Structure 1
Amino acid sequence: MRRELKLKKSVLSIAVLLIVVIIIAAGAGRFLVVDEPPRQSDVIVVLSGDKGERTVKGVELFQKHFAPYLLFSGGIVYNHVTMAELMGKHAEGLGIPKDAILLEDKADSTYENATFTLDIMKKKGLTSAIVVSSNYHMKRVKFLFEREFKNSGITLTYVAATDEYFAPSKWWSNNKSIMITINEYIKFAGYLFGKNA
């Protein structure tokens, strides 16, 4: 009788644990997404690291008059060519005037995006920004930007660009989305346990 009771309790515990794991796993993609309504700001900061959706989202926000400047952040990708420069050219091709484009061309990580963007904003006296990145990247972006901009007096709003491969509610639906999700959690853990990871 005792053995049967123990076995039933064990099976029940395993079933409950399995249900909890499934619920957590199902929400793993949605947890990564931060997407706030855009607010009037001094600048739209667009981070590098995608195939152009982030730039398009930044341009869309600029064209809706949410800010008078676009600041592209991204370091060297080949020889002396920077992602910031490529993103700026893409924006120009979409109709953005050159004098509305600012470039931060040193960042090689999300941490550096935050640090170097903060320096530029302070130098230019900009006190608010809309930060744009891919939807799957936004939780990590917000974590790092909030940490680096703490006590700066600068107001930040986070707006996500949709990535065609990442499905927040069904992150397991394709290989690319699975890899994006796992990669984000690994990188996020790195930032949690190491300042400049």
Structure 2
Amino acid sequence: MKKWLKQLAVLIVLFWSWHAVWLYFNLDVGETPVLSDVIIVPEGGDGREDQAGRLLHDGYSLSDRIIVSPLYGENINLLPHYQNAGVREDQIIAENEATSTYTNAVKTLNLMEENGWSSALVVTSDYHTRRTRMIYERVNRHYDFNLTYISAYVYTNEGEVITYLDTPGLRSAGRREIYKYYGYLFGLYHFLDLD
């Protein structure tokens, strides 16, 4: 019996290790943008505000609005970044209470309901799309909105796309994302404020 349990434990560790490596190379599950009522950006950085600005200017937001969660917070003021991306302050709906991807989903989907919207583009960093999609879909069970997940990339001065696999800083963010993904997979966001 003990031998069987050891073999099972080894198989579980091997599978989990394989899955973590596979996951690292497959964090980006972004989709093609579609016309939607609003654009949602969970937090900012890593090209999110630029991608949201491009989508807004290309007419993908029927309301001509972006929900940024959070726009302001402790040591956070993302408004200048959005303004640099060509987004006017009156086009932004600021949600300033969220402290994690989970609370981003809860707060922004509630704002969609309050505004009578039924569809959104959810814009986040390429390495963050898989976990964002997982948690938004869990929270969306209460609403049944049409959500499309858009990957934001960093661009070089020459306009080349830089993915999380292309640079050490973003690769590091991708590795950290693996732990957060498993934490979210097992529902630890209910107990810990995993960002």
User: Which of the two has greater helix per residue?
Assistant: 1
- Say if 1:72 and 1:88, in contact at 8 Å, map to a contact too: no
Give the structure 2 partner of residue 61 of structure 1.
55
CA distance in 2, matches of 1:185, 1:87: 26
TM-score by length of 2: 0.75
Change (3 A) 1:102 1:24: closer
Q: What does the per-residue CA deviation read over 1:134-165, in whole Å, with 9 as the maximum and x for residues that have no partner?
A: 00000000000000011413110000101469
Q: What does the per-residue CA deviation read over 1:148-193, in whole Å, with 9 as the maximum and x for residues that have no partner?
A: 011413110000101469745xx3x654244222210100111111
Residue 176 (structure 2) pairs with residue 179 (structure 1): no
Long gaps (5+) in structure 1: 1-16
Superposed displacement of residue 90, structure 1: 2.7
CA distance in 1, matches of 2:28, 2:49: 18
**Partner amino acid, structure 1, of 2:141:** K
TM-score by length of 1: 0.74
Residue 104 (structure 2) pairs with residue 110 (structure 1): no
Give the structure 2 partner of residue 5 of structure 1.
none
Give the structure 1 partner of residue 68 of structure 2.
72
CA distance in 1, matches of 2:101, 2:30: 17
CA distance in 2, matches of 1:152, 1:180: 31
Give the structure 1 partner of residue 130 of structure 2.
139
- Written as runs of structure 1 = structure 2, the 5 A alignment for 1:87-106 is 87-106=78-97
Change (3 A) 1:98 1:76: closer
CA distance in 2, matches of 1:101, 1:155: 20
Q: What does the per-residue CA deviation read over 1:102-147, in whole Å, with 9 as the maximum and x for residues that have no partner?
A: 1111111000100011111111111110000100000000000000
Residue 37 (structure 2) pairs with residue 42 (structure 1): yes
Q: What does the per-residue CA deviation read over 1:18-44, in whole Å, with 9 as the maximum and x for residues that have no partner?
A: xx95x973x443310011110111100
SS at match of 2:60: coil
- Say if 1:70 and 1:102, in contact at 8 Å, map to a contact too: yes
- Say if 2:32 and 2:150, in contact at 8 Å, map to a contact too: yes
State the number of aligned residues.
167
SS at match of 1:139: helix
Residue 110 (structure 2) pairs with residue 119 (structure 1): yes
Structure 1 or 2, whichever has the larger Rg, is: 1
SS at match of 1:141: helix
- Say if 2:126 and 2:163, in contact at 8 Å, map to a contact too: no
Change (3 A) 1:97 1:176: closer
- Say if 2:24 and 2:175, in contact at 8 Å, map to a contact too: no
Change (3 A) 1:174 1:41: closer
